[in-house]
């Protein structure tokens, strides 16, 4: 098709709907009405003589829609990157999206090291747990998530262990010691909505019955779980790397050593916007360096 004939508005609407799997969310992002987005998609389907979406809940891309999306989404990312590079001379800004608890407990306390090395760099942090497939990647240079090794299609680079440990405030064990795995049920157990399967694995590997879900204290974010453990509200099963400093300072202690629960490691994914940027390469190298040091330190506090 001739470039002058490309239906850019319709393709922009299609890309947004395909990423969000929602007409309403796409309309909010584009600043138009739901009807306007629907009309753009209808026009594009009419022009191509193809169905691009299955109007289910949530909506799904057809096979033809998947083919179109795989070409359109990276193209818009590259366009956004090209414009941003002109608006940010020197490439001194790094846009990072990472989980809230990781950002608060691990990244921010260490960020001064990178800033000291690169005093002119500006690292902008946004926190979320949204899946990478649902993010608008052109908004970020690097995305950090806990990812399984099977996620090779994302070209993810693991840098920090996701090993889980059961921790609590020291005073809880003084009042009610945990001498065996069964004793941990004498304490209030806490979990985050994003990590509800961890305790199930813990009890399964310990070969004891898990308490009813109603007995658990549940929070929206893992950061609240860690803070609740620090305040003595119960026992939390959380990544060791995020509480190693608190364990070293004896603000937290291991409630019980074991069983080991397999968990995905923290990994970074460089987006199309961030490719081939020397400063971002430095940031990723720094993440790997700090992650390695953190893993070694974590091994010394348990």
Residue 81: predicted pLDDT? 65
Q: Please, what is the end-to-end C-alpha distance for the chain in angstroms?
A: 62
CATH fold of 3-71: Arc Repressor Mutant, subunit A (1.10.10)
Same fold across 88-158+265-293 and 164-256:
yes
pLDDT value at 189 more than 90: yes
Q: Average pLDDT in the 84-100 region?
A: 75
Pairing of strands 142-147, 265-270: antiparallel
The beta strands (E) that lie in 42-134 are given as 53-54, 60-61, 93-98, 122-127
Contact 206, 181 (CB under 8 A): yes
Band (pLDDT 50/70/90 cuts) for residue 151 is low
Lowest mean pLDDT among 12-21, 39-48, 147-156, 259-268: 147-156
Q: Could you tell me which of 213, 179, 187 has the C-alpha nearest to residue 199?
A: 213
Q: Positive or negative, the Cα torsion across 191, 302, 112, 124?
A: negative
Rounded CA-CA distance 277/92 in Å is 10
CATH class for the region spanning 164-256: alpha beta
Q: Which CATH class is domain 88-158+265-293?
A: alpha beta
Q: What is the per-residue DSSP string for 245-256? A: HHHHTTSSEEEE
Distance CA 165, CA 26 (A): 40
**Predicted local confidence at residue 33, as pLDDT:** 93
Of 192, 189, 271, 279, residue with least CA distance to 234: 189
Q: What is the mean pLDDT of residues 3-30?
A: 90
Average pLDDT over residues 116-140: 90
How many Å apart are CA 284 and CA 278, to the nearest integer? 10
What are the residue ranges spanned by the domains of the chain? Answer: 3-71, 88-158+265-293, 164-256
Q: Tell me what pLDDT residue 86 has.
A: 56
Please state, in angstroms and rounded to a whole number, the distance separating the CA atoms of residues 154 and 156.
5
Report strand pairing: 60-61 vs 53-54: antiparallel
pLDDT tops 70 at residue 216: yes
Judge whether residue 136 has pLDDT over 90: no
Q: Is the pLDDT of residue 90 over 60?
A: no
Whether the Cβ atoms of residue 239 and residue 263 lie closer than 8 Å to each other? yes
């Amino acid at each position: 098709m001739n470039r002058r004939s490309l239906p850019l508005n319709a393709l922009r609407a299609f890309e947004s709907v395909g990423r969000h799997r929602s007409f309403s969310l796409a309309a909010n992002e584009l600043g138009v009405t739901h009807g306007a987005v629907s009309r753009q998609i209808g026009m594009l389907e009419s022009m191509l003589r193809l169905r691009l979406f299955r109007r289910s809940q949530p909506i799904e891309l057809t096979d033809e829609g998947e083919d179109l999306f795989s070409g359109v989404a990276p193209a818009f990312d590259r366009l956004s990157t090209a414009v941003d590079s002109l608006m940010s001379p020197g490439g001194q800004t790094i846009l990072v999206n990472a989980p809230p608890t990781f950002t608060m407990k691990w990244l921010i306390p260490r960020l001064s090291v990178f800033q000291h090395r690169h005093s002119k760099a500006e690292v902008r942090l946004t926190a979320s747990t949204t899946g990478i497939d649902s993010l608008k990647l052109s908004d970020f240079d690097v995305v950090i998530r806990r990812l399984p090794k099977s996620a090779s299609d994302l070209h993810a680079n693991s840098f920090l262990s996701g090993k889980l440990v059961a921790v609590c405030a020291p005073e809880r064990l003084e009042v009610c010691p945990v001498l065996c795995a069964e004793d941990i049920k004498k304490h209030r157990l806490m979990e985050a909505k994003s990590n509800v399967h961890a305790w199930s694995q813990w009890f399964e590997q310990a070969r004891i019955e898990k308490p009813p879900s109603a007995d658990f204290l549940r929070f929206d974010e893992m950061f609240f779980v860690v803070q609740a453990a620090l305040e003595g509200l119960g026992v939390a099963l959380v990544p060791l790397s995020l509480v190693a400093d608190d364990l070293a300072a004896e603000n937290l202690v291991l409630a019980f050593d074991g069983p080991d629960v397999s968990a995905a490691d923290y990994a970074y994914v460089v987006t199309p916007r961030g490719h081939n940027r020397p400063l971002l390469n430095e940031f990723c190298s720094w993440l790997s360096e700090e992650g390695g040091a953190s893993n070694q330190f974590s091994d010394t506090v348990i």
